[in-house]
Structure 1
Amino acid sequence: MQQTADVAVLGAGMVGVSAALHLQARGRDVVLVDRHGAAGLETSFGNAGLIERASVFPYLFPRDLGDLLRYALNLSPQAHYHFSALPSVAPWLWRYFRESAPERAKRHALDALPLVERCLEEHDALIQLSGAGDIVRRTGWIKLYRSEKSLAKGLVDAARLRDFSLRVEELDAAGLSALEPDIAPVVGAVHFRDTASVADPCAVAQAYAELFQRRGGRFLAGDVRALAQTRDGHWSVPTHDGALIVRDVVVALGPWSDQIFRPLGYDLPFAVKRGYHMHYGTKEGAQLFHPVLDADNGYVLAPMTRGVRLTTGAEFARRDAKPTPVQVGKDETLARTLFPLGERLDPKPWMGCRPCFPDMLPIIGKAPRHQGLWFDFGHQHHGFTLGPVSGRLLAEMMTGEAPFTDPAPYAVERFR
């Protein structure tokens, strides 16, 4: 049976659900379409649960020769790669290296700043409306440093953030112990107090999706890879309930977005970083009160509803290659020297993917060669953080409202 709507949003992760809510709030009849028929079950399911208001500066390609050698030999817990993936990923890594040069990285950070500055307030609005406040913490997060060298660099980076009116506090051993009494002593730490975190990222995405449905939004299951433009310029979206005909379609499929844009003729420098997580119990009543990053090793421990979640660094591999969770084992060994982790709570490590562009900025805006086609993907490690603010910007553009910031830095055309 054929259905119609104003807009179809493809993908029900944090980015897609947020775009649907903002379009709905502006009077559009919106349908969410996801292959699972439920929200938050892919990329938005597995992350550290941070709404990272302090993430002003992007993740950069390393330039330290020692770090590069460890990465090249697959010795660093922070990154892992498949040799078989190198032919396809190497050109992207080279471009990522170039875009991480100091002047370019500074420009990209300034371009991302309007999104980062508003990420928490846009989440706060949806948290209040959806009733998800009971799983949100306002206690910030902590970076731990195991060496004097890494601490010195961390303090320099922290000082730069104070220029953006962020509350950043250096912690000595006593200060860290007061906040996290079960963390083993380290050289030093930094507390980022403006960041919020959640105890279950998937539950937040689902609460937002339920808000969308309570307001009359439709949520359909379907494999959208057969998306097609009709003769009259509309779009036909395949769903399990029949074709959905819409005027506008939003591609918010995260790491699967290339399955739409490439067949339509868009050649974009798009790559996927994979990552893993595992949940643990704790020993002897130990508690973790904040998400903490072991800055020397690149993993995060975060208190979640299910237990303590360990999230790994990046894995460079083909998106659909067999999981190789070697980082989980390496990180678990390191993490047990930091915090009294108990038994594993998951039958196997969860694996997810992060959609990335080399300039560390998402694409938000109109596809230049197709009427009614809009993009909202490529948020790298910050899709959970930036979903609501990206959805607001996209909805403003689609409805003719004055956008709260210049959308040019996020346009497809920057890759021409």
Structure 2
Amino acid sequence: MNCDTIVLGAGIVGVCTALHLQARGRQVTLVDLKDPGEGTSYGNAGLIERSSVVPYAFPREFLRLLRYGLNRESDVRYSPCHLPRIAPWLLSFWRHSAPKPLAAATHALRPLIERCVLEHDALVEQAGLEHLIRANGWIEIFRCPRALRRAQQEAQAMSAYGLHFELLDAAQLHAREANLSPAVCGGVHWLDPKTVTDPGNLTKGYAALFSLRGGRVLRGDARSLRSEAGAWQLMTAQGLLSAREVVVALGPESNEVLNPLGYRLPLAVKRGYHMHYAANRELKHSLCDTQGGYVLAPMDQGIRLTTGIEFAAADAPINEIQLRRAEALARQVFPLGERLDPQPWLGKRPCLPDMLPVIGPAPNHPGLWFNFGHAHHGLTLGPVSGRLLAEMMTGEQPLTDPAAFSAARFS
């Protein structure tokens, strides 16, 4: 079997990359061990995060670091036995979170963040998936008046990025979400983002559009990728597949393909969990408790609680500690019903220490391209980063300067 381009990875980033290449006349085959939308793209909080113009940085306040060191917080947890392995990466993350490099990362990501909703809107309309999208933003809630004042001041400073929001006191917030408990004292309603009621089905819907337009979706192990006689070859369940170009969009598994080719990119995993709960009361908006480090999102499967960050080995067993901490806090602010899932879902966010994805050509292999490392914003940036890479691969003028996303920055 032959095609122009193989895209490895059928998550939101890979599927959107395949769609954009297909729209530019490329014959594309999408390959994954699983069905589209079955990995990290399935289990996120469903936020198309237009308001997150500043990347999630490593905290630098001493008292906050001390609290995290005690390993009792709900938003960040680490496995003690994994800490020595992840420590060099965390140190690099901390260095890149200093004001100057963080400002550079913010500047590089801004054109992508600004277009994230528009690029999703286009694909949603083409795929007929409007029933999965809500356009009422999301609300950041607070249980501490001091934290609320600080967050509202920070929100006002974000006006320079063209964001729209409303500052809510307790009465205004409870008017929008009548079932919140009195423990919540106010919030910030971010109006620009959209939310998705089933992120996995959104990715599947995009993949169905790709197939409807003539694209192939095959089962195959990306680790079988080989370069032979100027072509890239891969064994699939349907036989040997060959193409002159290949895109690695495997998220947290990308290094399993790249390490044998000689690439040593500092890709780490931030693990996270979700659980669905019965909706005993109405929840109209997705809510983020920044202090607690969790999101409550009304989904088709129930109310989804997603946790913050767990640093542990990617293949370590599920550990419910963080989920239980977040659930206990969430029950203080909203009447969650019983658990609906037999066990927590575990996802793996692919993260690089400078908070930027890798988008562009491989430095040492013609015809090999990268699109991974989107950290907390895979769903948000899938369509726009797919467009950016497709523009680079087909010689179009890219929507932004891609230099900041080059894999060569780690050489």
What's the TM-score, normalizing by structure 1?
Answer: 0.97
- Cα deviation for residue 65 of structure 1 reads 2.0
Distance in 1 between residues matched to 2:106 and 2:320, nearest whole Å: 31
Distance in 2 between residues matched to 1:295 and 1:170, nearest whole Å: 15
- Cα deviation for residue 261 of structure 1 reads 1.2
- Cα deviation for residue 178 of structure 1 reads 1.7
Distance in 2 between residues matched to 1:263 and 1:86, nearest whole Å: 25
Distance in 1 between residues matched to 2:107 and 2:113, nearest whole Å: 10
Tell me the residue number matched to 1:242. 239
Is residue 291 of structure 1 aligned with residue 286 of structure 2? Answer: yes
- Cα deviation for residue 376 of structure 1 reads 0.1
Tell me the residue number matched to 2:50. 53
Give, as a single letter, the amino acid of the residue that structure 1 aligns with 2:303: V
Instruction: Note if contact 1:80-1:327 (Cα within 8 Å) is conserved in structure 2.
Output: yes
- Cα deviation for residue 396 of structure 1 reads 0.3
Distance in 2 between residues matched to 1:160 and 1:267, nearest whole Å: 38
Distance in 1 between residues matched to 2:248 and 2:154, nearest whole Å: 35
Distance in 1 between residues matched to 2:80 and 2:243, nearest whole Å: 43
Bigger drift between 166-175 and 208-217 goes to 166-175
Bigger drift between 172-181 and 390-399 goes to 172-181
SS of residue paired to 1:262:
helix
Distance in 2 between residues matched to 1:275 and 1:8, nearest whole Å: 29
SS of residue paired to 1:23:
helix
> Which aligned segments of 4 or more residues in structure 1 are displaced greater than 3 angstroms?
none
Tell me the residue number matched to 2:18. 20
> Which digits, 9 at most, give the CA deviation of each residue in 1:109-153, with x for residues without a partner?
011001101111000000000001011000000001111232132
SS of residue paired to 1:352:
strand
- Cα deviation for residue 12 of structure 1 reads 0.4
- Cα deviation for residue 165 of structure 1 reads 1.3
Instruction: Note if contact 1:272-1:353 (Cα within 8 Å) is conserved in structure 2.
Output: yes
What's the TM-score, normalizing by structure 2?
Answer: 0.98
Tell me the residue number matched to 2:169. 172
- Cα deviation for residue 325 of structure 1 reads 2.2
> Which digits, 9 at most, give the CA deviation of each residue in 1:240-274, with x for residues without a partner?
11110000000000000010111111121110000
Instruction: Note if contact 1:276-1:312 (Cα within 8 Å) is conserved in structure 2.
Output: yes
Question: Alignment length, in residue pairs?
Answer: 410
Instruction: Note if contact 1:396-1:403 (Cα within 8 Å) is conserved in structure 2.
Output: yes
- Cα deviation for residue 74 of structure 1 reads 1.0
Distance in 2 between residues matched to 1:347 and 1:330, nearest whole Å: 18
SS of residue paired to 1:83:
coil
SS of residue paired to 1:263:
helix
Give, as a single letter, the amino acid of the residue that structure 2 aligns with 1:209: A
- Cα deviation for residue 160 of structure 1 reads 2.3
Tell me the residue number matched to 1:322. 317
Tell me the residue number matched to 2:31. 33
Distance in 1 between residues matched to 2:390 and 2:263, nearest whole Å: 22
Of 335, 350, 359, which residue of structure 2 is paired with 1:355?
A: 350
Tell me the residue number matched to 1:114. 111
- Cα deviation for residue 102 of structure 1 reads 1.2
**What pairs with 1:2-17 in structure 2 (closer than 5 Å)?**
3-17=1-15
Tell me the residue number matched to 2:216. 218
Distance in 2 between residues matched to 1:161 and 1:222, nearest whole Å: 44
Distance in 2 between residues matched to 1:391 and 1:339, nearest whole Å: 37
> Which digits, 9 at most, give the CA deviation of each residue in 1:253-312, with x for residues without a partner?
0000010111111121110000000000133xx111111011111100000001100000
Of 255, 260, 267, which residue of structure 2 is paired with 1:270?
A: 267
**What pairs with 1:69-84 in structure 2 (closer than 5 Å)?**
69-84=66-81
Tell me the residue number matched to 1:366. 361
Give, as a single letter, the amino acid of the residue that structure 1 aligns with 2:371: D
SS of residue paired to 1:76:
coil
Is residue 252 of structure 1 aligned with residue 242 of structure 2? Answer: no
Tell me the residue number matched to 2:185. 187
Tell me the residue number matched to 2:398. 403
Distance in 2 between residues matched to 1:333 and 1:249, nearest whole Å: 45
- Cα deviation for residue 64 of structure 1 reads 2.0
Instruction: Note if contact 1:161-1:168 (Cα within 8 Å) is conserved in structure 2.
Output: no
Instruction: Note if contact 1:8-1:248 (Cα within 8 Å) is conserved in structure 2.
Output: yes
Is residue 156 of structure 1 aligned with residue 153 of structure 2? Answer: yes
Distance in 2 between residues matched to 1:51 and 1:116, nearest whole Å: 9
CA RMSD in angstroms comes to 0.9
Is residue 377 of structure 1 aligned with residue 372 of structure 2? Answer: yes
SS of residue paired to 2:261:
coil
- Cα deviation for residue 187 of structure 1 reads 2.2
SS of residue paired to 2:330:
helix
Is residue 340 of structure 1 aligned with residue 341 of structure 2? Answer: no
Identical counterparts, % of pairs? 54
Instruction: Note if contact 1:85-1:318 (Cα within 8 Å) is conserved in structure 2.
Output: yes
Give, as a single letter, the amino acid of the residue that structure 1 aligns with 2:202: V
SS of residue paired to 1:344:
coil
Give, as a single letter, the amino acid of the residue that structure 2 aligns with 1:375: F
Bigger drift between 67-76 and 20-29 goes to 67-76
Instruction: Note if contact 1:150-1:295 (Cα within 8 Å) is conserved in structure 2.
Output: no
Tell me the residue number matched to 2:389. 394
Q: Please list every run of 5 or more consecutive structure 1 residues that lacks an aligned counterpart in the other structure.
A: none
Give, as a single letter, the amino acid of the residue that structure 1 aligns with 2:71: N
Tell me the residue number matched to 1:308. 303
